[in-house]
């Protein structure tokens, strides 16, 4: 099954690349690696603001991370032209806007990790990962995620 067939079966339409909110580009390719800039969580087209452990639950954070993963795939599609060229999701780095006592950043980030495995399969979708708790994310978003993918 192609990546696009899988996305269609999940009822997902990829969004267009969002315009950068500061002095950066959405993606850079070097060799067979594509680096995607951090994407922040959005809900209903607006910043999904909040802080884990204060006013956002772990389950909501996981949903936010999944929403970011969909946005990341929209950017990756724009970068490479065909998501079926993806050989592997290499690395995911997640920044979770959370209070100091919140310790479930890894569970929040599973929202993106599980989505990539679902779309690309257990081999191509499995990736190295970091999940950090941070005091703040741009625009007050609850989660920000960046991605590195290998294409062939």
Question: How large is the average pLDDT for residues 10-17?
Answer: 95
**Regarding beta strands 46-47 and 86-97, do their DSSP bridges make them parallel or antiparallel, or are they unpaired?**
unpaired
Instruction: Supply angle C-alpha 30, 85, 66, rounded to 5.
Output: 90
Mean pLDDT for the stretch of residues 66-79: 98
Of the candidates 106, 114, 118, 116, the one whose C-alpha atom is nearest the C-alpha of residue 143 is 106
Average predicted confidence (pLDDT) for the chain: 97
Q: Is 33 exposed, middle or buried (0-12, 13-18, 19+ CB in 10 A)?
A: middle
Edge-to-edge strand ranges of the sheet holding 27-30: 27-30, 33-40, 143-151, 86-97, 128-134
Task: Give 82-121 pLDDT, tens digit per residue.
Answer: 999 999 999 999 999 999 999 999 999 999 999 999 999 9
Residues of 98-110 as b/e, b for ≥16 C-beta within 10 angstroms? beeebebbebbbb
Average pLDDT over residues 30-43: 98
């Amino acid at each position: 099954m192609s990546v696009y067939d899988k996305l269609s079966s999940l009822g997902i339409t990829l969004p267009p690349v969002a315009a950068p909110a500061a002095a950066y580009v959405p993606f850079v390719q070097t060799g067979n690696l594509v680096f995607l800039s951090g994407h922040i969580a959005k809900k209903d087209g607006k910043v999904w603001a909040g802080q884990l452990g204060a006013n956002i639950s772990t389950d909501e954070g996981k949903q936010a991370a999944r929403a970011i993963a969909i946005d990341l795939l929209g950017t990756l599609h724009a970068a490479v032209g065909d998501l079926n060229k993806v050989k592997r999701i290499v690395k995911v780095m997640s920044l979770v806007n959370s209070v100091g006592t919140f310790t479930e950043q890894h569970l929040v980030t599973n929202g993106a990790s599980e989505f990539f495995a679902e779309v690309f399969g257990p081999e191509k979708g499995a990736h190295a990962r970091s999940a950090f708790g941070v005091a703040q994310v741009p625009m007050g978003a609850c989660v920000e995620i960046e991605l590195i993918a290998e294409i062939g």
